[in-house]
Amino acid sequence: MPKKKNNNAVKSLSLYVVVILIILGAILFSSASKPKVHEFTYDELIKNISNEKVEKLEVTPNANYSTYIIVGKLEGYKKNESFTVYVPYSDSTINKILDYSDSSKFEVKVNKDPRSEQWIAIIFEGILPIALVVGCVFFFFNKVSSGNNKSMDFGRSTAKLNMDGGKVKFTDVAGLKEEKEEVAELIDFLKSPKKFQKLGARIPKGVLLVGPPGTGKTLLAKAVAGEANVPFYYISGSDFVELFVGVGASRVRDMFKEAKRNAPCLIFIDEIDAVGRQRGTGIGGGHDEREQTLNQLLTEMDGFGANEGIIIIAATNRPDVLDPALLRPGRFDRQVTVNYPDTEEREQILGVHARNKKFSSDVSLKNLSKRTPGFSGADLENLLNEAALLAVRRDKEAIGMDEIDEATDRVLMGPAKESRKITDKEKQLVSLHEAGHAVIGIKLEDAQDVHKITIIPRGMAGGYTMMLPKDEKMNISTKNELLAQITGLLGGRVSEELYFGEISTGASDDFAKATRIARAMVTEYGMSELGPVQLEEKQGNVFLGRDYAKDKNFSDAVALEIDTEVRKIMDECYKKATKILKDNKKLVYLISDTLIEHETITKEEIDELVSTGKISKYEEEKKEEKKIKTEKKEEKEEEE
What is residue 514's predicted lDDT score, i.e. its pLDDT?
93
**DSSP conformation class of 39:** E
Q: Where are any strands of DSSP class E within 5-66?
A: 36-39, 54-62
Does the pLDDT value for residue 141 go beyond 80?
no
pLDDT of residue 569: 94
Quick one: pLDDT band at residue 374, thresholds 50, 70, 90?
confident
Q: What is the pLDDT, as a whole number, of residue 375?
A: 86
CB burial class (10 A; 0-12, 13-18, 19+) of residue 375? buried
Average pLDDT along the chain: 77
For CA atoms 92, 93, 94, 95, the dihedral sign is positive
pLDDT at residue 29, as a whole number: 53
Which residues are CB-contacts of 226 (< 8 A; sequence separation ≥ 6)?
165, 166, 167, 168, 169
pLDDT tens figures, 592-636: 988 888 888 888 888 888 888 887 777 777 777 777 777 777 777
**pLDDT number for residue 543:** 43
pLDDT at 343 over 90: no
pLDDT reading at 494 higher than 60: yes
Backbone angles phi, psi at 328, to 5 degrees: -75, 160
| Residue 291: predicted pLDDT | 79
The DSSP H or E segment spanning 315 is: strand 310-316
Residues annotated as part of the active site = 434
Per-residue confidence (pLDDT) for residue 573, from 0 to 100:
94
Q: Tell me how far apart the alpha carbons of residues 41 and 38 are, in angstroms, rounded to a whole number.
A: 10
Angle of helix 479-495 relative to helix 508-523, nearest 10 degrees, comes to 160
Task: Report the DSSP pairing between strands 265-270 and 232-236.
Answer: parallel
Of 85-99, 185-199, 543-557, where does the model show the most confidence? Answer: 185-199
Higher pLDDT, 166 or 293: 293
Residue 547: what pLDDT?
45
Q: What is the pTM of this model?
A: 0.64
- The DSSP 8-state label assigned to residue 199 in this structure reads T
Helices within 496-615 (DSSP H only)? 508-523, 556-583, 585-598, 603-612
pLDDT (0 to 100) of residue 18: 63
Tens digit of each residue's pLDDT (9 = 90 or more) over 430-471: 999 999 999 999 998 888 888 888 888 877 777 888 888 877
Pairing label, strands 464-468, 107-110: unpaired
The mean pLDDT of 544-564, rounded to a whole number, is 71
The answer for residues whose C-beta is within 8 angstroms of residue 520's C-beta and 6 or more apart is none
Is residue 5's pLDDT more than 60? no
Give the mean model confidence (pLDDT) for residues 161-182.
74
Q: Measured between alpha carbons, how far is 462 from 432 in angstroms, rounded to an integer?
A: 12
Element (H, E) at 483: helix 479-495
Q: Which has the minimum average pLDDT: 141-145, 252-256, 332-336, 437-441?
A: 141-145
Helices 177-191 & 217-228, crossing angle to 10 degrees? 30
232-236/160-162 β-pairing: antiparallel
When mean pLDDT is compared across 328-337, 584-593, 620-629, the lowest value belongs to: 620-629
User: Among candidates 369, 359, 465, which has minimal Cα distance to 409?
Assistant: 465
Residue type, 189: F
Amino acid at residue number 594: T
Residue 303 confidence (pLDDT):
62
DSSP bridge pairs for 236: 270
pLDDT score recorded for residue 255? 83
pLDDT tens column, 503-545: 888 888 899 999 999 999 999 888 988 888 888 776 544 444 4
pLDDT band at 483 (very low <50, low <70, confident <90, very high): very high
pLDDT digits (tens, 9 = 90+) for 73-111: 777 777 777 777 777 766 566 666 666 655 556 677 776
Specify the DSSP element, H or E, that contains 83: strand 81-88
pLDDT at 137 over 70: no
